[in-house]
Structure 1
């Protein structure tokens, strides 16, 4: 990473953090009136708390990311307008769901439209598996992207949980971009998202004064998914799996357990492993701290995978990451 790229990344972090914090302070009084999350049997909070800080996080990320990309002054580096537009669109869908719950099918179709826009914006010559028909690969990516966006939303059920996931992932993506392993645009947007989450974190630390809401978790999931896709398109599959591995495992295992039990898996619940941990005697700080530490380990494994660039190393690193995640899930599922 050269000094100019490092400076741009730092500008993105500081600018996004400042914008995010200021916008949260300005919008919180209004959100107290129009987007109040009241506790219920599935909630992790005990008092009514405003949601919608994702408005600030999304605006801060896109604004800071766009500014630093323009500051770069490179003709090869342009603002990913389709990705930004899809992010704004899915944020609007999320806010509508925060204020007045949308039916499941229309909500998923609107989310799928945003994911499809991002997937179809990928140049045709960039493929994950060249031997696979392009239409089939793109279709699978839309399905995978829709699941990823929703699992980020599902996992946003505890104070600071999304920050504990997004910050290590975005730092890793930013560093990999600075080292030239992925394009500069997703790396700079990742730095901006990291900053926006840092600006949000003081307001969301236990006991949270405000939540992201779907208006935040959905675009965060879309942006993280785009960054991971850019990594996978450069044939760094192990790294693209390792970075979100805890979220993937917790959400996916929980989904299949609910399907196996014939529960309404689309409905809100409190059976994710991180939620069960709080029921089993773990404090919120302990859960979030352990998830953050695990994500730092996964980020280091992902970085090692990219640098070593070996199939054998990828297999070993993926196994190490899977064992670490499995140990954490087992730990959360048992009473202290």
Structure 2
């Protein structure tokens, strides 16, 4: 990595973190008056807490990315479509935080955003050219983006829960940029997200003084999905590893509830991380395990991308799946 990249990376993370923390601090009194999350039978918190910190997090990311777009020529990909999409989901999430919206509306808007982003990908962009025709692949990408947006939202249920996933994931993507594996635009977006989440982490440390809310979890899920698509274009196994815990917790929970005859669209508290707290784990114990697991997955993703070896790909997938299985099993068993 060049010295200029080191300076730029540090500046992006530092400015994004400072902006995020400052904006959340300034917004918190307003959110206390208008966006309070009150405990219910599905909550993991026990006292009313303001939500909507996502507005500060996303504003910091937007400001940093706009500054980068104006102040320097960022190579492809063009970040404007995904930033516009993230802005739309920030508004959508904020409205849903204030007054729950019908699921159909949420999915329709998320689908439209995902479709717009995929349509605007470069024409020669392919993830699985030997497996799927271009039109089928793009359909899968739209569906995958919508799914990942909601998966990130589902897993935002504990103090530092989203921080524990996003920080290692975004740092791993930034490392892939430093190593020349993903484009600069993706690496800089990852660093902006990393800094904004670090700024938020100060306020979300257990017991949290503010929550992210859908105004943050939905657009963060979109940004991560977009970056993971570009990682997959460079090295599919690395993208799978980076997202492995996030996908596994939600997918296994979904299929378990489906097999039990539950209505899968209903809100619930049966994700593995929620079962862990119900089973006696303290919140910091859960998020620490998830952070370490996601850091392990990021390290494996980087190793796989550097190796360009099928054997290493298979070994890293086995090691990643083993780590996920170990953590999820411990969560399911409880103390």
Per the normalisation by structure 1, the TM-score is 0.97
1:87-236 alignment, distance < 5 Å: 87-131=86-130, 132-234=132-234, 236=235
Aligned equivalent of 1:260? 259
Aligned equivalent of 1:283? 282
2:42 matched to 1:55? no
2:81 matched to 1:82? yes
Indicate conservation of the 8 Å contact 2:160/2:201, yes or no: yes
Per-residue deviation, residues 90-135 of structure 1 (Å, max 9, x unmatched): 1111111100100011111111111222222210101112242211
Q: Quote the offset at 1:248 in angstroms.
A: 0.6
Indicate conservation of the 8 Å contact 1:66/1:79, yes or no: no
Indicate conservation of the 8 Å contact 2:86/2:222, yes or no: yes
CA RMSD, aligned part only? 1.2
Q: 3-state DSSP class of the match of 1:333?
A: helix
Distance 1:124 1:103 in 2: 34
Distance 2:214 2:152 in 1: 10
Q: Quote the offset at 1:70 in angstroms.
A: 3.9
Distance 2:115 2:309 in 1: 31
Distance 2:38 2:157 in 1: 13
Aligned equivalent of 1:321? 320
Aligned equivalent of 2:9? 9
Indicate conservation of the 8 Å contact 2:163/2:197, yes or no: yes
Please, which moves more after superposition, 199-208 or 261-270?
261-270
Q: 3-state DSSP class of the match of 2:101?
A: coil
Distance 1:143 1:161 in 2: 24
Distance 1:258 1:85 in 2: 35
Distance 2:120 2:152 in 1: 22
Q: 3-state DSSP class of the match of 2:333?
A: coil
Per-residue deviation, residues 76-101 of structure 1 (Å, max 9, x unmatched): 45751111100100111111110010
Per-residue deviation, residues 132-174 of structure 1 (Å, max 9, x unmatched): 2211111111111111000000000000000000000111111
Indicate conservation of the 8 Å contact 1:62/1:189, yes or no: no
Distance 2:334 2:26 in 1: 41
2:23 matched to 1:23? yes
Indicate conservation of the 8 Å contact 2:75/2:185, yes or no: no
Q: Quote the offset at 1:65 in angstroms.
A: 2.5
Please, which moves more after superposition, 170-179 or 131-140?
131-140
Indicate conservation of the 8 Å contact 1:98/1:214, yes or no: yes
Indicate conservation of the 8 Å contact 1:8/1:68, yes or no: no
Distance 1:274 1:169 in 2: 18
Q: Quote the offset at 1:74 in angstroms.
A: 3.3
Indicate conservation of the 8 Å contact 2:258/2:264, yes or no: yes
Distance 1:59 1:244 in 2: 24
Distance 1:244 1:123 in 2: 23
Distance 2:277 2:128 in 1: 41
Aligned equivalent of 1:309? 308
Please, which moves more after superposition, 62-71 or 248-257?
62-71
Distance 2:299 2:12 in 1: 22
Per the normalisation by structure 2, the TM-score is 0.97
